[in-house]
């Protein structure tokens, strides 16, 4: 799809300065250097998906959501997930959730602040809301606000992915994962490409194979090719309990780390962002999250799709977004009364976030707290290619 030699994390993408300040088997936690003399008191945590690498939120400086947040005066942290091999086949969905709790604990050690704000993208948003329900059951209210980018909580209408949620196919994948210990990243990438075959398969067959043109260096397509493996146990649990059985929406439908998960116990204010042309997480499905959590909600609909609709810099005048302060049960009712705005939705989110950000304090740098830096950002986990999960 693109020139895979044109980009390299840490050199011309994922270049926002920072340090890895914590890691476990599944995750590295990056703390970014401040770019302002003062920062908001409450740190900010990005929970990235683990289908691809985290740097969709830190591409090049001109479209980096991480850099933009740092420049707005936030102490920003990011989860960077490992590319697992057969040694992590036993890792479960709850292990990813508990890693997020570990990240929150590490942020407290790094900054001295227990209260944070957080965001999750796609599967990262699903696991963030699951974590909030887990914390709510334990009376832990440390997350003061959350934003979910294109994340599913009710899987009754999974959109075009529904054709892959078939018992025969799931059984076949489980057999393959039983032999290897993981779902290979190229299989997942192939699924998503088939959903947009004209754009992501046949266009390149014609231009690169038939016409002999060299692939164009495009950062988003490089990221799209940088897929990761998924541990056997985690993937099987996720597909069967969420996509197939749709149990996350049911109070106590799933139990993680001994805790029945009930999204309705979440009292944290949540900003739901979806994209009008999203074929992976259709907005009419992600909208259901506004009806499942128990706290204040805001729903915003961006133009474009799953990636461009989210990674739409504040300086951009493209796509636009729709606003409606009400969240009726039906997404069609929401859209009927929504008003379209020009440009990026990022400034609207920033205005919503400000009341939860806390007062300004002197800027923090990695290593100021009790955790010492392990290595420079973007860290070593993100550099593990899909065919090099052990770094070889």
CA–CA gap between residue 195 and residue 199 (Å, rounded): 9
Question: Residue 114 CA to chain centroid, in angstroms?
Answer: 22
Q: Is 122 a catalytic residue?
A: yes
Residue 53: name the closest of 200, 279, 225 by CA: 225
Q: How far apart are the first and last CA of the chain?
A: 24
- Give the CB-side neighbour count of residue 193, counting CA atoms within 13 A: 17
DSSP state of 265: G
Measuring CA to CA, how many Å separate 154 from each of 95, 241, 288? 21, 11, 6
Residue 33, both tokens = 């250097």
Residue 301: name the closest of 280, 319, 323, 327 by CA: 323
CA–CA gap between residue 184 and residue 173 (Å, rounded): 10
Q: Choose, from 20, 118, 122, 151, the residue flagged as catalytic.
A: 122
List, in sequence order, every residue forming a beta bridge with 376; answer none if it has no partner.
19
CA–CA gap between residue 97 and residue 126 (Å, rounded): 10
Burial 306-321 (b: 16+ CB within 10 A, else e): bbbbbbbbbebeebbb
The residues carrying an active-site annotation are: 122
């Amino acid at each position: 799809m693109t020139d895979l030699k044109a980009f390299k994390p840490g050199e011309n993408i994922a270049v926002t300065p920072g340090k890895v300040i914590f890691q476990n088997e599944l995750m590295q936690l990056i703390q970014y250097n401040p770019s302002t003399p003062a920062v908001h008191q409450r740190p900010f945590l990005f929970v990235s998906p683990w289908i691809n690498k985290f740097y969709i939120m830190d591409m090049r400086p001109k479209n980096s959501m991480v850099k933009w947040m740092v420049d707005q005066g936030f102490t920003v942290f990011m989860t960077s997930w490992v590319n697992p091999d057969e040694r992590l086949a036993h890792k479960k969905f709850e292990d990813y959730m508990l890693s997020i709790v570990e990240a929150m604990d590490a942020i407290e050690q790094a900054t001295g602040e227990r209260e944070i704000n957080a965001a999750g993208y796609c599967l990262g948003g699903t696991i963030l809301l699951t974590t909030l329900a887990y914390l709510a059951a334990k009376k832990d209210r440390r997350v003061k606000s959350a934003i979910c980018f294109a994340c599913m909580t009710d899987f009754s209408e999974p959109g075009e992915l529904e054709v892959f949620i078939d018992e025969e196919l799931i059984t076949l994948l489980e057999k393959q994962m039983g032999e290897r210990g993981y779902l290979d990243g190229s299989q997942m990438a192939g699924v998503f490409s088939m959903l947009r075959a004209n754009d992501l398969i046949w266009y390149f067959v014609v231009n690169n194979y038939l016409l002999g043109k060299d692939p164009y260096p495009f950062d988003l397509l490089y990221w799209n090719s940088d897929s990761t493996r998924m541990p056997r146990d985690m993937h099987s649990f996720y597909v069967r309990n969420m996509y197939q059985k749709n149990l996350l929406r049911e109070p106590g439908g799933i139990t993680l780390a001994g805790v029945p998960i009930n999204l309705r116990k979440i009292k944290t204010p949540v900003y739901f962002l979806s994209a009008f042309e999203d074929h992976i997480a259709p907005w009419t499905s992600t909208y259901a999250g506004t009806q499942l959590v128990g706290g204040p909600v805001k729903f915003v609909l961006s133009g474009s799709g799953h990636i461009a609709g989210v990674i739409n810099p504040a300086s951009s005048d493209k796509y636009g977004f729709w606003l409606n302060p009400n969240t009726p049960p039906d997404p069609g009712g929401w859209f009927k009364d929504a008003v379209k705005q020009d440009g990026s939705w990022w400034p609207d989110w920033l205005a919503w976030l400000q009341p939860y950000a806390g007062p300004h304090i002197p800027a923090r740098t990695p290593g100021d707290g009790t955790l010492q830096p392990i290595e420079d950002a973007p860290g070593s986990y993100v550099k593990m290619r899909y065919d090099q999960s052990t770094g070889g």
